[in-house]
Amino acid sequence: MIEAHTQHLVAYRIALRRIAAALGCEADEEAVVAARQKVESDHLMQQTRTGLLILDHGYAGGAAMSPEEHAAAIRIPQRDVVRLETIAEGFLGASDNVTSWLAAVTNEVEARVRGGAVGVKTIAAYRAGLRLDAPDPSHVASDFGRLHAQAAAGRPVRLEGAPLCHSLLLEAAAACASLGVPLQVHCGFGDPDEDLALVSPLGLRRLFTEPRFAGLKVALLHCYPYHREAAYLASVFPGVYMDLSLAIPMAAHDGARALGEALGLCPISKLLYATDATRYAEVYLVAASLHREALAGALGELVDGLWLTREEAVEAGRDVLARNARRLYRLD
Amino acid sequence: MIEAHTQHLVAYRIALRRIAAALGCEADEEAVVAARQKVESDHLMQQTRTGLLILDHGYAGGAAMSPEEHAAAIRIPQRDVVRLETIAEGFLGASDNVTSWLAAVTNEVEARVRGGAVGVKTIAAYRAGLRLDAPDPSHVASDFGRLHAQAAAGRPVRLEGAPLCHSLLLEAAAACASLGVPLQVHCGFGDPDEDLALVSPLGLRRLFTEPRFAGLKVALLHCYPYHREAAYLASVFPGVYMDLSLAIPMAAHDGARALGEALGLCPISKLLYATDATRYAEVYLVAASLHREALAGALGELVDGLWLTREEAVEAGRDVLARNARRLYRLD
Amino acid sequence: MIEAHTQHLVAYRIALRRIAAALGCEADEEAVVAARQKVESDHLMQQTRTGLLILDHGYAGGAAMSPEEHAAAIRIPQRDVVRLETIAEGFLGASDNVTSWLAAVTNEVEARVRGGAVGVKTIAAYRAGLRLDAPDPSHVASDFGRLHAQAAAGRPVRLEGAPLCHSLLLEAAAACASLGVPLQVHCGFGDPDEDLALVSPLGLRRLFTEPRFAGLKVALLHCYPYHREAAYLASVFPGVYMDLSLAIPMAAHDGARALGEALGLCPISKLLYATDATRYAEVYLVAASLHREALAGALGELVDGLWLTREEAVEAGRDVLARNARRLYRLD
């Protein structure tokens, strides 16, 4: 894929040029790699003009920088979100049954939130899809038994399948509702280990309608190509927020178009800016510039079409780029 | 939702400005409310330049104006469509079994059509979704028994669930086919008590392929975000018509874009103008102006792109705004 | 449909004008039919500036020209793809069981590929939908028994239903992988005997993830309105290619828009030009001109938006119109 096709993505072409421009070099891979080695990541991160980073440190496990190392390397204020599945995998071995496992996870989430985490993130989309039916208790118990035995024996475990992942998601959603922190849910496209047919945010409906989740705030991440569906959810359920994050760099011009489509139903107060960037400062830089331009383009079209005034569009830009997240994650 | 987010919808912003312009006041809520109180609804309705209203009086039950009161208040010719579920709920108590219930509903629909109703409308999308499988007779019987007992005991009943709602829909579709009146089907987005995952018009396929529905005309209402799917149905099945109604005011610029997308596959002769407006004359006014502009914009782009001639676009506008409905509902 | 509505398709209007321009006559049906009768098909086919045709001769059975007759009539180099279901129906009568039937089909495919066929095409979308679950062996056996008996008795057979069609598709996919030829899969919209709800390319996921299909190349045909989903598959799975073929003439301007949307995630190296044209040279001509213009339009927008350089866009055009197919089908 990388050898034969990645270079033929529109997103690759634009990214290469943006990075080259930021580094002041020619827009080819060799020149970029050479120039990049002479620049600190923090220098590029400053160019993203990011006021505050909300970070999920749960992706790469021990191989990643710790939050402290990251905060030292990048001089931008940082807050954490807790990756639900990473925590939950850590308690599989020490928990005797599903109930105690879920309680241990919830306790840990609560402790992390008390310690400053501003939200919880779930990647159930990858592990089980997002069609939230009521998990069958006998499947939950048997799946748990198998993973518990593996973990207790010191073998690596990977939490997956609807019975456990959806039980966990529902429990965490209730915890988030009572803790008052948003639950981030990966929706829509991503890496190939996810079945795109199963990850429409419409499958999350229970979270928005059942009384046990009253007050829950959910941030739907990425959403593409289900962004119109996500925007619908944001338009009818008070707790639903959304972003286009990965879609803006990856789907290039069509990610930008999707942002304009989402603004059809999604209240401006519920659309969030996000990069989905990871590992490399230049990825943040590309996402940050493309996302701002996509937003400016979409809002500019609304002004041209007399849908919004210029003043409303300026305020909308500020809301999407910062204020909505500050309010949602209670950052002030 | 209303306090925190509705004001941040693009649709809200444009609606406020359109109403203010029609009322000749400042575009803020207070000024609009004050100015609105000095104006008759009929005055605003005249500004919509509507030649004839097709109305569903079955929504609010006894709390709404009667057709006669409405006709007296608004000086625009009016025709009724029959809301299927409202009628069907009224016969639950007096019917001993499903067969007699369906027969009673069909008789009533027939009587209403003889009395001047021009179509039948179903909101099965809200009550059961639109994935029309063959209802299981035992579920149909048990659901009916429960609702019948409730209704016979004088308690309020709400018809819902696939067994009864789909049985009713299929029966009504056959009746519409033989009566020669269109069946309007709410598809796509709407209020939050509907699961958007279940309301693609593609689920209605049986209505278009089974011999018992031969000749049936179906008007797919709203459709968004399934409007490309609806347009496909309109392109291959002679009896399928569609509108974007609620999408045009609610999804603002993206509703307008959706109208352009629908014109990809939907024959111009099968696209209908509709407002989904209710209760307030100013909602009709906003929908009427935005819908006309969306149509003009979409057709204008087709002319600019040399897809249609200017003359064809003018005829297309007339077809969509009036002639298609006149032919479909046999209004002349 | 044809009498009342086809003439109201945007696609019909533009097609009529394009054909009339090519024939040098007025753009009305009578003039076009009259002028068309004076022109050889080959003359029109030359105007499509097609370098090589990849043809599926399996559609119309004995009523169609043979490959040899076609090659004699149209002076453009031609290669064949094998229509899987047509071949498979031919072996139903002579095969005693499913295993021998699948083996016979695979042998025939292999022989055809040795004889010069450059790919295999499946229309499972029409016969069974594309949600590829593991076929239930007992259903496979009973369906086979029924069709085998019909065929052995000399009665006409139509292969359909998930058990047989998906067994066949999976077997053929494995054969294509080992033969090194692409499998073309009809996805998305088409004729009304297909249920559009069942033909998203996302249902094909097994073909891209299971080891037995390693190395398989799949060309997703048409895709609309699932083209963003198809583009996603092309972006994460090395073997996935796509085209918009039927969408470009049929969905008119929205087919062109869909092509631009697909270029969001689909690597330019994986997007293919195709017409889905059949029977009439003028259909090829319309599709060829509209497809080139759609591509030019989409790439032009990318240049205007600074997503691609002009040089990259020119190369992209060449890739999509010819080079990608030459590489995928190993035509050089």
For residue A267, which residues of chain B lie inside 8 Å, CB to CB? 5-6, 8-9
For residue B195, which residues of chain A lie inside 8 Å, CB to CB? 202, 205
For the stretch B134-164, pLDDT in tens is 899 999 999 999 999 999 999 999 999 999 9
Query: Order of strands, edge to edge, in the sheet holding A53-56?
Result: A53-56, A78-83, A119-122, A183-187, A218-222, A240-243, A271-272
What percent of chain A lies above the pLDDT cut of 90?
94
Cβ of B253 within 8 Å of Cβ of A302? The answer is: yes
What percent of chain B lies above the pLDDT cut of 70?
99
For the stretch C3-19, pLDDT in tens is 899 999 999 999 999 99
pLDDT of residue C2: 86
Residue in A closest to B191 by C-alpha: A236
3-class secondary structure, C137: helix
Backbone angles phi, psi at A131, to 5 degrees: -85, 95
For residue A302, which residues of chain B lie inside 8 Å, CB to CB? 10, 253
**Dist. CA B311–CA B269, nearest whole Å:** 15
Q: Is the confidence at residue A190, as pLDDT, over 90?
A: yes
Cβ of C307 within 8 Å of Cβ of A4? The answer is: no
A14 interface with C at CB cutoff 8 Å: yes
**Looking at CA atoms only, how far is residue B206 from chain A in angstroms?**
23
pLDDT of residue A59: 78
For residue C191, which residues of chain B lie inside 8 Å, CB to CB? 236
Cβ of B268 within 8 Å of Cβ of C9? The answer is: yes
Q: Is the confidence at residue B58, as pLDDT, over 90?
A: no
Q: Establish, for the pair of chains A and B, how many residue pairs have beta carbons separated by less than 8 Å.
A: 77
Handedness of CA A194, A196, A200, A201 (dihedral sign): positive
Poorest-pLDDT segment among B114-123, B181-190, C62-71: C62-71
**Looking at CA atoms only, how far is residue B228 from chain C in angstroms?**
7
Q: Is the confidence at residue A222, as pLDDT, over 80?
A: yes
pLDDT of residue C118: 98
Cβ of A189 within 8 Å of Cβ of C238? The answer is: no
Q: Is the confidence at residue A64, as pLDDT, over 90?
A: no
Neighbours of C, requiring at least 3 CB pairs below 8 Å, are: A, B
Residue in A closest to C198 by C-alpha: A197
**Looking at CA atoms only, how far is residue B176 from chain C in angstroms?**
20
For residue A305, which residues of chain B lie inside 8 Å, CB to CB? 253
C253 interface with B at CB cutoff 8 Å: yes
Prediction ipTM score: 0.97
For the stretch C103-157, pLDDT in tens is 999 999 999 999 999 999 999 999 999 999 989 999 999 999 999 999 999 999 9
A252 interface with C at CB cutoff 8 Å: yes
Cβ within 8 Å of B, C 17-76: none
For residue B114, what are its two tokens? 């003889």
Cβ within 8 Å of B, A 260-279: 260-265, 267-270
From residue B27, how far is each of A332, B32, C234 by CA, in Å? Answer: 32, 7, 48
Preferred mutation among A9, A191, A223, A248 to probe C, highest tally of C CBs within 10 A = A9
Cβ of C8 within 8 Å of Cβ of B267? The answer is: yes
Cβ of B189 within 8 Å of Cβ of A265? The answer is: yes
Q: Establish, for the pair of chains B and C, how many residue pairs have beta carbons separated by less than 8 Å.
A: 76
3-class secondary structure, C271: strand
Q: How sure is the predictor about A164, in pLDDT bands with cuts at 50, 70 and 90?
A: very high
pLDDT of residue C94: 95
DSSP string, A24-43: TS-SSHHHHHHHHTTS-HHH
For the stretch A6-18, pLDDT in tens is 999 999 999 999 9
Q: Is the confidence at residue A194, as pLDDT, over 90?
A: yes
For the stretch A68-122, pLDDT in tens is 999 999 999 999 999 999 999 999 999 999 999 999 999 999 999 999 999 999 9
Residue in B closest to A208 by C-alpha: B192
Residue of A314, A299, A297, A196 lying closest to A246 (CA atoms): A196
**Looking at CA atoms only, how far is residue B183 from chain C in angstroms?**
19
Calculate mean pLDDT across residues A206-213: 97
**Looking at CA atoms only, how far is residue C300 from chain B in angstroms?**
14
The answer to whether residues A135 and A196 touch, using CB atoms and an 8 Å cutoff, is no
C165 interface with A at CB cutoff 8 Å: no
Cβ of A195 within 8 Å of Cβ of C205? The answer is: yes
Cβ of C306 within 8 Å of Cβ of A252? The answer is: no
**Dist. CA B319–CA B267, nearest whole Å:** 11
Determine the straight-line distance between the first and last CA of chain C, rounded to whole angstroms: 43
pLDDT of residue B65: 86
**Looking at CA atoms only, how far is residue B323 from chain C in angstroms?**
13
For the stretch C167-180, pLDDT in tens is 999 999 999 999 99
Residue in C closest to A198 by C-alpha: C202
3-class secondary structure, A57: coil
Beta bridge mates, B218: B183, B240
Residue in C closest to A200 by C-alpha: C229
Calculate mean pLDDT across residues C21-32: 96
Cβ within 8 Å of C, A 166-205: 189, 191-192, 195-197
From residue C34, how far is each of A233, C6, C41, C42, C147 by CA, in Å? Answer: 55, 20, 14, 17, 46
pLDDT of residue C59: 78
Average pLDDT, chain A: 96
Q: Is the confidence at residue A302, as pLDDT, over 80?
A: yes
What percent of chain C lies above the pLDDT cut of 90?
94
Cβ of B8 within 8 Å of Cβ of A202? The answer is: no
For the stretch C269-288, pLDDT in tens is 999 999 999 889 999 999 99
What percent of chain B lies above the pLDDT cut of 90?
94
Q: Is the confidence at residue B60, as pLDDT, over 80?
A: no
Q: Is the confidence at residue A65, as pLDDT, over 90?
A: no
Q: Which residues contact B80 (CB under 8 A, 6 or more apart)?
A: B54, B55, B56, B57, B67, B112, B116, B117, B118
For residue B8, which residues of chain A lie inside 8 Å, CB to CB? 267-270, 319
Whole-prediction pTM: 0.97
**Looking at CA atoms only, how far is residue A44 from chain B in angstroms?**
34
Average pLDDT, chain C: 96
Residue in B closest to C294 by C-alpha: B305
Cβ of C253 within 8 Å of Cβ of B205? The answer is: no
pLDDT of residue C1: 87
Q: Is the confidence at residue B71, as pLDDT, over 80?
A: yes
Residue in C closest to B233 by C-alpha: C192
Residue in B closest to A226 by C-alpha: B225
Residue of B86, B125, B134 lying closest to B226 (CA atoms): B125
**Looking at CA atoms only, how far is residue C9 from chain A in angstroms?**
25
Beta bridge mates, C242: C220, C271
Average pLDDT, chain B: 96
Cβ of B251 within 8 Å of Cβ of A265? The answer is: yes
Classify residue B198 by its DSSP letter: G
For the stretch B240-295, pLDDT in tens is 999 999 999 999 999 999 999 999 999 999 999 999 998 899 999 999 999 999 99
For C281, half-sphere exposure in the C-beta direction (CA atoms, 13 angstrom radius) is 22
**Looking at CA atoms only, how far is residue C192 from chain B in angstroms?**
6
